[in-house]
Amino acid sequence: MLDFSLPDELIASRPTAEREEARLLLVDRTQPPGEVGHSTICKLDEHIPPGALVIVNDTRVVAARLLGRKLATGGQVELLLLRKLKSSEGGLVEHWLARGRASKPIRQGAELAFGENGEIKAHVVQCAGDAMLEVVLSSPRGVAVEKLIGIHGHIPLPPYMKRADDASDRERYQTVFARTPGAIAAPTAGLHFSNQLVEKLQSRGVKMTSITLHVGLGTFKPVTALDLDDHPMHEEEYFVSDEVSEAIDDARRRKVPVIAVGTTVVRALETAADPSRPGRVTASSGETRVLIQPGYRFRVVDALITNFHLPQSTLLALVCAFAGGRRTLAAYRAAITSSYRFYSYGDAMMVFG
């Protein structure tokens, strides 16, 4: 059910010239599978009712890909920083969970250096399976490690783009809502929003607020289990504020839809759903491993704006759960027939009704 065939030329490796130039496939859940509409993001104000509540993800992608060398041998090494565990000495030392890659295994106790002149030093504290490492990053020159990562790190573009990041990705692989550093991948539906589009929506009475969910490595992990219940979900850190809870309460009182921009927003809101107050959330934070698949009963989200996702992915499973499996795959076929662009820098789909 989670499979489809996609021509390589429809995988977007670059964004559109302007954020809101992306195309928008319209899927109404009250219509039969295969019935779709075609629009563009710049006309999104025509498809969102005045007064609706739109919720975005304000996570910020960290320049989490570090390229360097082993000090002992000079061999090349790459670290993908996954989660900051703690910071000390005024930010001059940081402990991170990371994934390492080198021609030979990275051993416990290894000393690594990153930056043109070794501006970041790394000590491997612990090694685990699947190339997972705990590393201590330090700054020999007294500059905060966080700042050095921003200078010397690379934007961790998804592997299917098949290219190295460049200067333009530092802006275009961030949403205009990005405030809170912590993600290793962008919440891609939000990439289509420009400040001008936000102003246009708000001028029509659309309300907007944000949650935080730091997208982790699990977003790229394909489903290999025969039963989705057996798929191991990676934990992702989330935060749903009192402001969000109050905004949803207000939307329910006004009887307007709650629209999630992206699957990450869906996961955060559904994690925070208040079991004693249908349709509402409780302000909360922590780590979520919620796996949303067909058969799931949505408690908070009424409509969804999302990009087109990889086959055999939990993100596609979530969209199938929201729109229906047959309707989702029919919409994907229609998008392919109409040469929509897929994945992170691709076009979008709005599911409503």
What one-character-per-residue DSSP string does 176-228 give? TT--EEEESS--GGGGG--HHHHHHHHHTT-EEEEEEE---GGGG----SSSG
65-154 topology per CATH: Thrombin, subunit H (2.40.10)
| pLDDT of amino acid 312 | 85
Residues carrying CATH 3.40.1780.10, the chain: 8-61+170-352
Helices (H) and strands (E) in the chain, counts: 7, 17
pLDDT value of position 88: 86
- So what's the pLDDT on residue 234? 74
Amino acid 226: pLDDT: 56
Q: How high is the pLDDT of residue 343?
A: 94
Predicted pLDDT of residue 109: 92
**pLDDT surpassing 90 at residue 130:** no
What does the pLDDT read at residue 50? 95
289-307 tens-digit pLDDT? 888 989 999 999 999 999 9
What average pLDDT score do residues 200-207 get?
Answer: 97
Instruction: Sheet with 236-240: list strands edge to edge.
Output: 36-40, 23-28, 348-352, 303-307, 258-261, 53-57, 207-213, 236-240, 284-288
Local confidence band at 131 (pLDDT 50, 70, 90 cut-offs):
confident
Query: Tell me, what DSSP letter sits at residue 333?
Result: H
Is residue 233 predicted with pLDDT exceeding 70? no
Alpha carbons 149 and 50: distance in angstroms, whole number:
42
On the question of pLDDT at 3 being above 60, the answer is yes
Contact 150/184 with Cβ under 8 angstroms?
no
Label residue 208 by pLDDT band (50, 70, 90): very high
pLDDT confidence of residue 254: 97
Scored b (16 or more CB within 10 A) or e, 11-41 reads: bbeebbeebbebbbbbbeeeeebeebeeebb
Residue that is written with structure tokens 């979530």 in the block: 318
Q: What is the mean pLDDT of residues 61-90?
A: 92
Gyration radius of the chain's alpha carbons: 21
What's the CATH architecture for 8-61+170-352? 3-Layer(aba) Sandwich (3.40)
Q: Please list the residue range(s) of the chain that carry CATH number 2.40.10.240.
A: 65-154
**pLDDT interval class at 249 (50, 70, 90):** very high
CB burial of 111-124 (b: ≥16 within 10 Å; e: otherwise) equals ebbbbeeebbbbbb
Quick check: 20 and 42 in contact, CB under 8 A? yes
pLDDT, mean of residues 53-73: 96
**Tens of pLDDT along 4-28?**
889 999 999 999 999 999 999 999 9
Query: What DSSP string runs through 223-259?
Result: --SSSGGGS-PPPEEEEE-HHHHHHHHHHHHHT--EE
pLDDT at 218 over 70: no
Rounded CA gap, 176 and 300, in Å? 24
* Model pTM score: 0.93
pLDDT of 98 strictly over 80: yes
